Amino acid sequence: MPAVDEMCYHAFDLGVRAVNAYTLVTKSVRFHDSKIEIQNTVYDVAGRLVVFGIGKAALGMLRAIFNVPGVRIDSAIGCIPQSTEDELSDEGFCSGSSHALLGIGEDSLKHNSRIRLFYGSRTNLPNEEVVRASVLMSETATSLGVNDLLLVCLTGGGSALLTLPKRFRGGRLPLTDVLTTIKLVSSAGADISELNAVRSCLDELKAGGLASLAYPAQVVCLIISDVIGDPIQYIASGPTHIDPQYSASLRINRCLEVLQQYDLLNELPQNIQAFLTTEQSTPSVEDTRTHRVYNWIIGNNSVALNTASSIFGSPKPQDVKLSVMDADATNAYYPIDRIFQYTRSIFPVVLTNTLHGDAGRKGRIFAELLWCTASYLASKHIGDCKEVTLMERKMANLVAGLIDDTVNIEPIREACLKAVSNGKDECGSAETIGICFLLGGEATVTVPSFGLETTPLGGRCSHFALAAAVRWYELRQNEHEYATRKFHKIGLLAGASDGLDGPTACGGGVWVSAFPQPTINSPGVYRSAIQCLEHCNSYGFFKECDADAILPAKLTNTNVMDLIIGVAVVNR
């Protein structure tokens, strides 16, 4: 594996490990004397303690709860994605990592009589087993009394792993109709808040429904956030978020607004149309009870990004906090000395943890930012003041377009200055200097409305990366715009922190390169890439043209959106 590829892979893996579900729960929860302590806040458990685990990383959270010293759990229910054979092996997300560290440990819970495990699909859509799990959770929550405590372990993916269609005409809305509606809204390019606005209107347990059923028990929810800004009402559709100001009538009106915005009302299944019409005319009765619900965010993408950035720009390996590697295993291995010979002279900048918008557009902007930064470094190193000023203006415009805001590029300027001014003895490399940009968040991909002959194989990360590779090819055709003669390596890794990028789960992410070996290197490959982007078939492109660039699709036992790590390295 080329050096830049390897250090980006390991930075990504380190960031994912920092938000491992098992680790986060272990750090946050204590049990003692019939009390549960969450980050120094104590809750009494005079009656039963019931635990629910919901989401892509819920298994690790459940296992951590069962392993906390002094715990006394009466019963537990988990609804998680179905594991693959690879995930049940001793191999982790990246080369050299360990399965135990990722905290899967499924066998340890399968044979525990106090827990029932249910398995949902890996495609972010609920199935009938999810509904069965949700029925059991609903019944269990309803049975709780005033002295009981419901502890909910919630992660991204929970929207598809906690689904109980609302009652309608003597039964429930058909799951197939709910799925059709979700697919329509998602394919139209709706963001997470819009998608949840529709889902919560069709489901009994979303938007605080689960917590309401548990009344009068206490409800404590531990949350690993996979939504920009950590809004509790959107993470897994907010099953424990009760908002007394957001009435049923407001909720149904917001749902209809979203459907009208994307011109979907007439495309909905008849049952859904009839249900929404009925709800609009006779909204559900408001819940005026005083609930005891406490939500805790215990992990998000800021932690992952900061940890991933820590291997760059450090004078020596011991300056990097690597304790996360030992969080849940003793056999994790990193060739850290070898990595540091490349990363000491590469300085990190976390650009944003709120990446959003169109994945294709943002991928193109990020690609040009890396290219421009490489040119800036080269110009600054040789003292070309005119070129430096021009590149600074370009970088400012590109960063503003990337994060949709005016921006101060001083952190980038400072990182570049460090890279240029560090001497041979300090940075440990006489040959190259560079910058690493890190992004976190979740861009969107709009599936084309025209009919496709085959099911597209795409994901947010692969779409972003392919768009970047396309832009790099275009820039290479006009190299006179930038000083490229000193370029050493330019590339990026775009990966889903949960290990599953896109609904078809073809991969966990993708590495693409501009230098020295471009991902797109000919007009024919370029045309193929453009077509695959238009058809949202990015993994189709990589499977055909660069299969080795694909990260394996493997659950990582966390979910904090996507992480993107890009490097621009130039020769001294």
Q: What is the 3-state secondary structure (H, E, C) of 109-157?
A: HHCCCCEEEEEECCCCCCCHHHHHHHHHHHHHHHCCCCCCEEEEEEECC
Quote the CA–CA distance of 335 and 31 in Å, as a whole number: 37
Tell whether the model's pLDDT for residue 370 goes beyond 50. Answer: yes
Say if residue 286's pLDDT is above 80: no
Q: What is the mean pLDDT of residues 401-412?
A: 86
Residue 107 has a pLDDT of: 65
Tokens of 255: 């749902």
pLDDT at residue 228 above 60? yes
Sorted by where each begins, the domain ranges of the chain are 22-299, 301-315+345-571
- Tell me what pLDDT residue 7 has: 86
pLDDT over 60 (residue 322): no
Average pLDDT, the chain: 87
State the pTM of this model. Answer: 0.87
Question: Which CATH architecture describes the domain 301-315+345-571?
Answer: 3-Layer(aba) Sandwich (3.40)
pLDDT tier at 80, thresholds 50, 70, 90: very high
Fold of the domain spanning 22-299? Rossmann fold (3.40.50)
pLDDT tens, position by position, 159-212: 999 999 999 999 999 999 999 999 999 888 888 889 999 999 999 999 999 999
Residue 321 or residue 49, greater confidence:
49
Q: Flag the least confident range among 56-60, 166-170, 423-427.
A: 423-427
CB 7 within 8 A of CB 491: no
- Residue 87's pLDDT is 59
Give the pLDDT mean for 227-231.
94
Q: Do domains 22-299 and 301-315+345-571 have the same CATH topology?
A: no
Instruction: Determine the Cα–Cα distance for residues 214 and 139; give it in Å rounded to an integer.
Output: 9
Q: For residue 392, how far is the Cα from the chain centroid?
A: 31
pLDDT at 315 over 70: no
Task: Determine how β-strand 41-44 pairs with β-strand 35-38.
Answer: antiparallel
The pLDDT of residue 101 is 32
Mean pLDDT for 366-374 is 96
Check: CB of residue 98 under 8 Å from CB of residue 331.
yes
